[in-house]
Amino acid sequence: MAQDSGTRTLVSHAQLRRGRGRVIYWALLTVVVVGFTLVFLGPLYWMVTGALKSGQEIAQTPPSLFPKDPQLRNYADAWNNLDLAKLLFNTFYYAAGALLFQLVLDTAAAYALSKLRPAFGNLILGLMLATLMIPAMVLIVPQYVTVIDLPILHLNLLDSPFAIWLPAVANAFNIFLLKRFFDSIPEELMAAALMDGATPLRTLWSIILPMSRPILGVVSIFAVTAVWKDFLWPKLVMPSPETRTVSVGIYAFSGGTPMNVVIAASVIAAIPTVVVFLAFQRNIMSGLTTGSLKG
Amino acid sequence: MAITTVPGTRRKPGRPAAPRPTGPPRTSLGRKVRDNLTGHAFLIGAVICFAFFSWYPMIRGVVMSFQRTRRGVTTWVGWDNYERIIADPSFWTAWKNTFYFTVLALVLGYAVPFFVAILLNEFRHAKGYLRILVYLPVMLPPASALFLFKFYAYDPGDAGLFNSILKALHLPTSQWMQSPEMTMPAMVIASTWMNMGGAVLIYLAALQNIPGELYEAAELDGAGIWRRIRHVTIPQTRLILALLAMLQIVATMQFFIEPLILANGTGAEDSATSVAYLIYQHGFFQNDLNGAAALGVIMLVVLAGFSAAYVRLSAKQD
């Protein structure tokens, strides 16, 4: 039954447990649970089962709630015709690389900004945070021009995974999250490590990182899902069919492919993020609120 | 761990062992330089990435907008790109659509999550389940979710999900993306469904920080539920409400993937073209990267104007 330990909200607990309040509470709760299930899960159900229907069945009125003759043909077609295995592997590869680069470089940067505090550290932090103010669409053209001819080095990164991995490191939000967490680690621990002769790298590895598991988890999830969900940037920098991500690949095929097959492919593309979400939903939700509220 | 004084440590004899809370106190110059170098060595990787992919493109974008590259030769052309972009009739259509989308998304995508959060915060049961439900669409790849809307929900025939529901309720069906009037509302509905989870969770966290005594006091003064929302909930979450409004305006003004997938870019009678889509068109289809850069700068100025107005307003209130 209801826990009374929670703080008081808009309507008092006592009111909700007696007579009319109780009836309204349960009625409202039922309506919301049913309504939300329909609104948020309903379309997903429609998507998964729609892709099980035949072309005729999907066009019939009124639509059938359950597929009459469920067949996996659309899913099989999607898998084979769109070469989804390849697309999924590409996306996974980009996401894993982006995660690795961010974990190494952003963690090191946040550690330097929080604990080592070199000269001009605050200026650098300010310049990094300033990028949060620049809308992504404004940068898309000059970023593209930069990637096709990297200044000084004159490299063309088109179709190279580095075109996704390196820009992912320039993520001020994740650096900010990490720095704020490192700030909360007592300075005494740093001093103690220094006194024992630990190098800064050793301190980071043996003291800071083991204490930072929660925030590292949050940053990792953000890093992976950002690459998985991204569309325009991978569409621009991964133009050839062999290097496409799954979202871009489905879009590229959507014109000449039966719609049930496109939907089946969309379902398959969504499975990894949904699984990650269900597995890590606690971390994701706590990360969202710490990152936005106290910041 | 040895507690003896090791030569080279900065603790002076006779001083209390507790280290100072801020940084090393007195150090030699050489040590200082070395510490700085170590610090910068940790920073360098991220700084290089920022330099190449954020800071430099920022400057490059502004520079490009005043240049024109033809056959590999780049020349300064002053405001030519801006004039060409503004003279394009789709420029004004795109801004009109973008403002319309932003306002609709603000009405729907801003008020709805707030009231959903207030409602969820009252429940003592099924809390986790409802939160997962609201946030689930946020985790879908936007392309996947939009194909669902395009092919199933907004099917203009009677077999479409929304039209079947309307029909079952004996309401008139709609052409959805094929009708210029419905294009925007349909895109806003899809966008809100995909994105509102984040806002709901942030509001929920803000609501949990409201001290319960405030509600108690208001109730003792005879304030009903609506007055409690108006005089306690809204003032107490004002800052986060204002911040999210700002973030949402900036995010929705850049809407791109909704017109691209739902409306094949422009939609019926140009009803879906957004400024972001126009940037994409100019840059990558009309071979006009300089014009696209100029459009980007215009967008930046407009969004910066919004941010400045926001800072002004919120500073005035405090």
Complex confidence, ipTM: 0.88
* Rounded Cα gap, residues A205 and A188, in angstroms: 17
Distance to chain A for B96, nearest Cα, Å: 18
B85-141 tens-digit pLDDT: 999 989 999 999 999 999 999 888 788 899 999 989 888 888 889 999 999 999 999
The answer to whether the CB atoms of A289 and B205 lie below 8 A apart is yes
Distance to chain A for B181, nearest Cα, Å: 24
Class (C level, CATH) for B83-317: mainly alpha
Distance to chain B for A136, nearest Cα, Å: 8
A195-249 tens-digit pLDDT: 888 888 999 998 899 988 888 988 898 899 899 999 999 999 999 999 999 999 9
Residue among B53, B157, B256 whose CB faces A167 most closely: B53
Which one of A4, A25, A141, A195 makes the best mutation probe of the B interface by having the most chain B beta carbons within 10 Å? A141
What is the pLDDT averaged over residues A104-131? 93
Distance to chain A for B207, nearest Cα, Å: 8
Q: Indicate the range of A15-24, A84-93, A165-174 predicted with least confidence.
A: A15-24
Predicted TM-score of the model (pTM) = 0.86
Confidence label for B11 from pLDDT (cuts 50, 70 and 90): very low
Average pLDDT, chain B: 85
The answer to whether the CB atoms of B144 and A266 lie below 8 A apart is yes
- Which of B96, B107, B82 has the alpha carbon at shortest distance from B301? B82
Residue among B9, B261, B283 whose CB faces A141 most closely: B283
The residue of chain A nearest to residue B254, with distances taken between CA atoms, is: A137
Where do the CATH 1.10.3720.10 domains begin and end in chain B? 83-317
- H helices within chain B, ranges in order? 29-50, 56-64, 80-87, 89-122, 127-139, 142-148, 161-168, 180-208, 212-220, 225-228, 234-236, 238-252, 257-262, 275-284, 289-317
Which one of A53, A90, A138 makes the best mutation probe of the B interface by having the most chain B beta carbons within 10 Å? A138
Q: Which two tokens stand for residue A215?
A: 């925030």
Q: Which two tokens stand for residue A65?
A: 């709630």
B36-60 tens-digit pLDDT: 888 899 999 999 999 999 999 999 9
Indicate whether A2 pLDDT > 50. Answer: no
DSSP 8-state class, residue A1: -
Q: Is the peptide bond before A241 cis (omega within 30 degrees of 0)?
A: no
Give me the sign of the Cα torsion angle A194, A198, A202, A207. negative
Burial class (CB within 10 angstroms; exposed 0-12, middle 13-18, buried 19+) of B128? exposed
What is the pLDDT averaged over residues B277-304? 93
Distance to chain A for B43, nearest Cα, Å: 4
Residue among B19, B45, B193 whose CB faces A188 most closely: B19
B185-219 tens-digit pLDDT: 999 999 999 999 888 988 888 888 888 888 888 88
Q: Which two tokens stand for residue A162?
A: 């580095």
The residue of chain A nearest to residue B247, with distances taken between CA atoms, is: A133
Contacts of B132 in chain A (CB under 8 A): 277-278, 281
Radius of gyration of chain B (CA): 27
The answer to whether the CB atoms of B21 and A187 lie below 8 A apart is yes
Q: What is the pLDDT of residue B33?
A: 86
